[in-house]
Chain A
Amino acid sequence: MLRKALRLFSLTLLALSGVYVQAAEHSDVSNTVLLNMPTGVSTISHEIYNLHMLIFWVCVVIGVGVFGAMLWAMYFHRKSIGHEAENWHEHLGVELVWTIIPIFILIAMAWPATKTLIDLYDTSDAEIDIRVTGSQWRWQYEYLGEGVDFLSELSTPLDEIYNIEPKGEFYLQEVNNPLVIPVDTKVRFLLSATDVIHSFWVPDFAIKKDAIPGYITDTWVEVTKTGVYRGRCTELCGQGHAFMPVVVHVVEKDEYQFWLAEKKQEAAAIAALTETTFTMEDLMARGEEAYLRTCSACHQPNGEGIPPAFPSIVGSPVSTGPIDEHLNIVINGRPGTVMAAFGGLLNEVDIAAILTYQRNAWGNDMGDVVQPIDVYNHIQGQ
């Protein structure tokens, strides 16, 4: 406790004295005092970092001048040491000088900023296109032209958030399915959203762009170093805003190809599972897992929701009513509410498992089973 207090105290002193120390590489955050922007690992992130430091030092120099003059006056022109006030209060020359010199400083800064900005906007000639879709509160990544498409959701357990379990090293910075991209390759992200505005940020890549419903915005990155990079959503998007991180694995090019092939196989395997008939136990187990991952942020782990925004599933007319209507709401969502259309977000097996779970958990006890093929047929029949 004392050590912690001392550490906090020294941090505070550091902050007040305005000491600006360069933060270390992101990889070793736990033992470093975080003070500055990461230099990052993409071609553009270094440019932005340099721009940031340039303007920072310009401000420091101006600040030393202005505050220096002020402190001089505060000390040497005090009434208490008998300093007499002079009466001058105008000087056209001086005023022109301090109007014109800043304009030149600004032009000098605008020049590199313009260059970097134009680079940032050049999304042409990308080798890989990934569509990023923000939803409350998860990211969906679709590798365009590859048939690979998956959801990426927070994997930190609720028990850690609510202080029942100790927090892990990557608390709130871990997901079930990370984004995977190859190193030294220009990757273009096409961003959109299904409900409210989200914003996709990976600090080490120096990319941040809003994902807006009805729009497709774009940005790009070329990462120069392999590793795991962690980012987050930066546009207020509701109660789960702090709980939809971005995790990106940057791997060697051949490793990426291997991963992509594996993902394609997984998709094929899921398609095969769609035709499998599962037992109640299998569906309940898979359903509980998928429910906690995807549904519980709103409807809560106990199914009781937070009415009126997030209705209870326990004994509700939907989860204890006809299967067709239940399927319809989960697959197509409820327009005008937070309830998203999960038909495009989850595979048939998971939807079937979640429905079975919802119809039989928390005392709903409907006793019926929804098979993946039912989901498939429902979607096809629309």
Chain B
Amino acid sequence: MAHGPAKGITRWLFTTNHKDIGTLYLWFSFAMFILGGFFAMVIRAELFEPGMQLIRPEFFNQMTTMHGLVMVFGAIMPSFVGLANWMIPMMIGAPDMALPRMNNLSFWILPPAFLMLASTLFMEGGAPNFGWTFYAPLSTTYAPDSVNFFIFAIHIMGASSIMGSINIVATVLNMRAPGMTMMKMPLFVWTWLITAFLLIAVMPVLAGAVTMMLMDINFGTAFFDAAGGGDPVLFQHVFWFFGHPEVYIIILPAFGVISEIIPTFSRKPLFGYASMVYATSAIAFLSFIVWAHHMFLVGMPVSGELYFMYATMLIAVPTGVKVFNWVSTMFRGSISYETPMLFAIAFIILFTLGGFTGLMLAIAPSDIQYHDTYFVVAHFHYVMVAGAVFSMSAAVYYWLPKWSGRMYSEAMGKLHFWITFIGFNITFFPQHFLGLAGMPRRYADYALQFADWNMVSSIGAFIYGASQILFLYNVVATIVAGKKVSEPKTWEGANGLEWTLPTPPPYHTFTTPPDLHGTHDHQLTDDQLEDHPGGATH
């Protein structure tokens, strides 16, 4: 029995449709991206010149904390879950996600969690002010009362992530079209499968950390309180056992997106598909055994430092393999430069720069000079913003015509790209210099020798921030008034099951799965595309 979406608000509230839930996730994450970006603008405005001009130091700390939390948990993570919701069923030939009601729940608990987190800004004592890494005892004994709301919000976000991950694992393992073996899956599906396992493994650890905080604050325990026999360093071990895999949770789906886009616009199959899968798995494994490289200065024994240094350096090997594979894919291809490709190429260049600084940070003795400075801030914005956010922009331009049945304006897309690219580099490249010259991170005010680069960085940040308004405009303008497209394949070089579906895809797709027996790799031949047009039952 064919049926379309329900009418009105109930369509969104009660939906169990993977496309609707994907859309909700994507819009929610964009709203959080703007909110977190607004916090960043406040930070950069205050740092425009030495001295306190606009806000007071205690509010500055609330801004850095909220910026980090909202961007990591509200913008980047949900955006990739949204992408997974939209694309995984369409990429593996499944009719929907395996657990659609849980899918609805995992989204709809997020808005209340972030509403609660944002409301702390208006509470007496202010919002959380201890950094997104919330080291105890600053986040326990010395925290504002709003920390309890923060803890509850983290619990809800964790529950949402775990449900989303279980759903993805169940879908990928059980609902692939006949003949789609694991090694035929698109790389985006592979990276998300591995990411989902990482999430299931580490979100409970984060929940444990905040629960111990809750007990310390309200019930008289002393897990992290030295005066009660507890251990502040224990907090850091537990946090980073979550926190390090977390950064790969953010970047692995981005790898997947890039691995879809580069072959499309190079008109050449992805180089080293199998080695990409192995490299992703290796990165995921290594992410569990390197956490204390965030803690080189807590006074670990030298043997511990050496182990974490060596293990961290090893990550460069599988990461290098990925970069080499992308470049080899482009090599001797037939490259064209549409907006998604521009973002993807910028991703490779800037992510690699972030990888280089990551390698530098891995060297424990040098890390003494880099640790907790703007060098680190530059490093992780190169991998988080130029990594995750650029790949997300690439993904939106790449799949938006498929989702909406309308084509974005290539000129506007390129304009958005160039302003973003230039603004990003003006913001974050000078931060390398600031860090090396000695400016610590999370400083509300700074000495005079740091003034010039801070001003440059702030100007870049305003450019970068403004360019995201253009992004919003581009997406809305495309959906409302973009040129209609109906070809199943938007891009001539594109491969994969999603491009066999009508454009825009009907509400329900692949109710009859395509048969992929007899294909030799993860990409379909043109004959098979004609044999299995997919599409709705009606």
Contact = CB atoms under 8 A, between A and B. Distances in A.
Interface of A: 7-8, 11-12, 15-16, 18, 23, 29-30, 33-38, 47-48, 51-52, 55-56, 59, 62-63, 66-67, 69-70, 72-74, 77-80, 83-91, 94-95, 98-99, 102-103, 106, 109-110, 113-114, 116-118, 120-121, 136, 160-163, 167, 169-173, 195-197, 199, 201, 203, 206-210, 212-215, 217-218, 230-243, 306, 308-309, 335-338
A144 B134 CA distance: 33
A375 B396 CA distance: 68
A161 B433 CA distance: 24
Interface string B47-81: 00011110011101100000000000000000000
A117 B305 CA distance: 8
A326 to B, nearest CB: 23
21 contacts: A11-B452, A11-B456, A12-B459, A30-B448, A63-B352, A78-B336, A103-B317, A116-B365, A118-B302, A163-B52, A167-B50, A171-B50, A212-B233, A215-B226, A236-B138, A236-B441, A236-B442, A242-B444, A242-B446, A308-B125, A337-B141
B379 interface: no
B368 A197 contact: no
Nearest to A60: B356
Contacts of A80: 336
Interface stretch (B285-293, B422-430, B505-513): B422-430
A30 B452 CA distance: 10
Contacts of A94: 328
A160 B352 CA distance: 41
B297 A238 contact: no
A236 B298 contact: no
A5 to B, nearest CB: 10
Contacts of B462: none
Nearest to A338: B142
B173 to A, nearest CB: 26
A172 B446 contact: yes
B135 A197 contact: yes
Contacts of A236: 61, 130-131, 135, 138, 441-442
A163 B51 contact: yes
B331 interface: yes
Given A48-B365, A90-B271, A162-B51, A8 B452 contact: yes
A117 B364 contact: yes
Contact of A209 (B58, B271, B297): B297
A77 B51 contact: no
Contact of B368 (A55, A208, A214): A208
Contact of A7 (B317, B446, B452): B452
Interface in B299-328: 299, 302, 305-306, 309-310, 313-314, 316-317, 320-321, 323-324, 327-328
Nearest to A23: B437
A114 B309 CA distance: 9
Contacts of A33: 452
Interface residues of B, number: 106
Contact of B302 (A8, A73, A117): A117
Given A167-B448, A239-B60, 12 more contacts: A15-B453, A34-B449, A52-B363, A83-B335, A95-B275, A120-B365, A163-B53, A170-B447, A213-B232, A232-B438, A240-B57, A335-B227
A368 to B, nearest CB: 32
B450 A34 contact: yes
A215 B349 CA distance: 42
Interface string B122-138: 00110001110001011
A234 B336 contact: no
Interface stretch (B37-45, B83-91, B262-270): B262-270
8 smallest CB-CB distances across A and B, nearest first, come from: A214-B226, A217-B299, A34-B437, A85-B334, A59-B356, A89-B269, A239-B58, A242-B443
B119 interface: no
B93 to A, nearest CB: 22
Contacts of B449: 29-30, 34
A73 B297 contact: no
A241 B360 contact: no
B334 A11 contact: no
A218 B301 CA distance: 11
B140 to A, nearest CB: 10
A193 B314 CA distance: 34
Contact of A106 (B125, B270, B313, B429): B313
A62 B353 CA distance: 11
Contact of B317 (A51, A99, A121): A99
Contact of B436 (A36, A136, A306, A309): A36
A207 B368 contact: yes
A214 B232 contact: yes
Nearest to B271: A89
A72 B197 CA distance: 38
Interface stretch (B108-116, B181-189, B369-377, B402-410): B369-377
B360 A59 contact: yes
B366 interface: yes
A79 B267 contact: yes
A269 B501 CA distance: 88
B452 to A, nearest CB: 6
A212 B232 contact: yes
B455 interface: yes
B338 to A, nearest CB: 11
B348 interface: yes
Contacts of B474: none
Interface in B344-363: 345, 348-349, 352-353, 356, 359-360, 363
Nearest to A69: B327
Contacts of B369: 37, 48, 52, 203, 206, 208
A317 to B, nearest CB: 20
Nearest to B141: A336
B100 interface: no
A309 B60 CA distance: 16
Contact of A233 (B230, B425, B440): B440
B368 to A, nearest CB: 5
A233 B445 CA distance: 13
A201 B437 CA distance: 13
A161 B51 contact: yes
A162 B52 CA distance: 5
B335 A78 contact: yes
A217 B298 CA distance: 7
